[in-house]
Amino acid sequence: MSIFLGLDSSTQSLSAVAIDLESREIVLDKSINFDKSLREFGCKNGVLPHRDPAVAHSDPLMWLKALDMLCEELQSMRGFDVSDVVAVAGSGQQHGSVYLNSKATDALKSLNPKRSLEHQLKPALSRKSSPIWMDSSTRRQCDDIESAIGSGAKVAGLTGSSCFERFTGPQIRKFAEKERTRYDKSSKIHLVSSFMASVLAGKHAPVDHGDGAGMNLMDITRKQWSAAMLKATAPGLKAKLPRMAPSDSVVGRISSYFVDKYRFSPKTKIIAWSGDNPCSLIGVGLISSGRICISLGTSDTYFGFMPQPLISAEGEGHVFGSPTGDYMSLICFLNGSLAREKVRRKYKLTWNAFSKRLFHSNPGNGGKVLLPYFSPEITPNVPGPMVTRYGLKESDVKGNVRGVVEAQMTSMAIHSKWMGVKTKTIYATGGASANRAILQIMADVHNADVYQFKVGQSAALGAALRAAHAHLKASGNEQPWEQIIAGFAEPDRESRVRPNKEAAKVYRDFKKIYKACENHALHGGKDPLDVQTKFKARYG
């Protein structure tokens, strides 16, 4: 047996996917949903309630309790033997940070299997909550960092992204400004990914180049902490950050806590964790250029493999490290599944009824446009909630249902131009990728074939594949990535959704009115009524 385990610590859940590399089978797919199973932490959709809609924090103790619960489930599962696991790697929601005090090193080293992770690591937190990727409260800190470096474009040239509110550097700066004493007491600042890896390994794990690139702190070409960015962000920061390491580094053997409590083998290797998007890149098999992936999760992301870092001139997207040692481009849309969910709930629809409305309405929505900024938006930058309707009544159920999905797909098409990819094939993943009505609109708007995957958990699967790759490399039996992913990270050929030629034509023009509406709402551009009327006259 050669079982490799991938964990995904995401916004709303902790998931596990295990693969058998020899038989090429997925032998386990499990998930703990925070809202359902860990209600006592008071989170909604994995986020702590806050009166300011720009603030989004979560509870790191909830992630720890989920890890204990998940291990317990794995141990008690029939047909799965935890002691067969050769190596574990993981994926973490990107950008989120965990703040630890001077007790952390010892606490990690001496975890007692008779007590819970939550109770033993609570005293090691120097900050109770963790800012996560949905936080947009650091615009001022972003501006300050960019002006210290010279400009947003300069920051992007250095780190792969201009300063973004959710990125870890601006978040750390805000913490250092507002809570200086606690900042000074934080002897280690981890990402969600490196924190979870540290717990498993019983010692501080490194930040990998994939997730490290989402901090506005890593030099994207040299793949090291950037001295200029550290200086522009917060005092004494270098000493507080873990070391950086390639994604395929072995952190060490699993902590005896997991051996004694859950019967993992003491030989189990812990591999550096990465961000969920770099892991998904592997989980959908994007190890060369040419295709792109759209992940429909809590956030919607649009990403692809890149051999060299290519940076967006408009400052809209990001360059992260790929777990293969290359690069990936990514654009993140915050109003993903939560926006779809808001519309579905508003009109009291089941998902079935939602999909029916999509199938039974016309491409282009008769020119009606919904700008679905239910929460602050990352791409394009919208600082606060601002749902705007053009020619669309709030009472029009079909129009709003089609409106939210068309807006998401059109926005992706418009804001991904800088990547310069002629998209002929799209791989769809994430929870909502199971919905073929949504995928039809995706295919039509992008005029591309869309494929689904049999395993929806691309980040956890990618992590399991990374574990296998890193283990083989460390044992002197490195296999090419093509070989590692074969049979696992492949789209379901039967699932192909073809674009409808007529609809694709409509969307070519629809993109223009969508752009005009966006421009009007966000940049004070011309009233889009004119273009909307023309579109309506043509396509009704």
Residue linked to tokens 């998401």: 408
The tokens for 94 are: 């990107």
Beta carbon nearer to ligand XUL, 332 or 401: 332
Residue type, 447: N
- Regarding 11 and contact with ligand XUL (CB under 6 A), the answer is yes
247 binds ligand XUL per the rule CB under 6 A: no
- Vertex 401: Cα angle to 398 and 405 (nearest 5): 135
Cβ nearer to ligand XUL, comparing 266 with 384: 384
Q: Which is nearer to ligand XUL, 287 or 293 (CB)?
A: 293
- The letter for the amino acid at 129 is S
Residue 13 contacts ligand XUL per CB under 6 A:
no
Q: Which residues ranging from 94 to 153 are in contact with ligand XUL (CB under 6 A)? A: 94-95, 133
Cis peptide before 380 (omega within 30 of 0): yes
Q: What is the rounded end-to-end Cα distance, in angstroms, of the chain?
A: 60
Quick one: which segment of 64-72, 90-98, 120-128, 425-433 binds ligand XUL (CB under 6 A)? 90-98
What sign results for the dihedral spanned by CA atoms 295, 297, 301, 307? negative
Stretch that binds ligand XUL, among 114-122, 250-258, 273-281, 402-410 (CB under 6 A): 273-281
Of 279-308, binders to ligand XUL (CB under 6 A) are: 299, 301
Which is nearer to ligand XUL, 412 or 516 (by Cβ)?
412
Size of the site for ligand XUL (CB under 6 A): 15
- Min dist CB 302 to ligand XUL, Å, is 10
Considering only residues 9, 10, 171, 457, which one is a binding residue for ligand XUL as defined by CB under 6 A? 10
Among candidate residues 274, 330, 286, 297, the one with its CA nearest the CA of residue 8: 274
In 3D, which of 417, 343, 430, 346 has the Cα closest to residue 379? 417
Report the C-alpha gap between 3 and 79 in whole angstroms.
13
H-helix or E-strand containing 209? helix 209-212
CB of 377 to ligand XUL, least distance (A): 12
| CA distance readout (Å), 363 to 339, 369, 437, 438, 444 | 20, 12, 12, 12, 8
- Is 276 among the residues that bind ligand XUL (CB under 6 A)? yes
Smallest distance, ligand XUL to C-beta of residue 153, A: 19
Provide the minimum distance between the beta carbon of 6 and ligand XUL in the complex, in angstroms, as a whole number: 15
Query: Which residue, 319 or 442, has its beta carbon nearer to ligand XUL?
Result: 319
User: Footprint of ligand XUL on residues 326-355 (CB under 6 A)?
Assistant: 330, 332
Hey, what are 453's tokens? 């995957």
Name the site residues for ligand XUL (rule: CB under 6 A): 10-11, 93-95, 133, 166, 214, 275-277, 299, 301, 330, 332
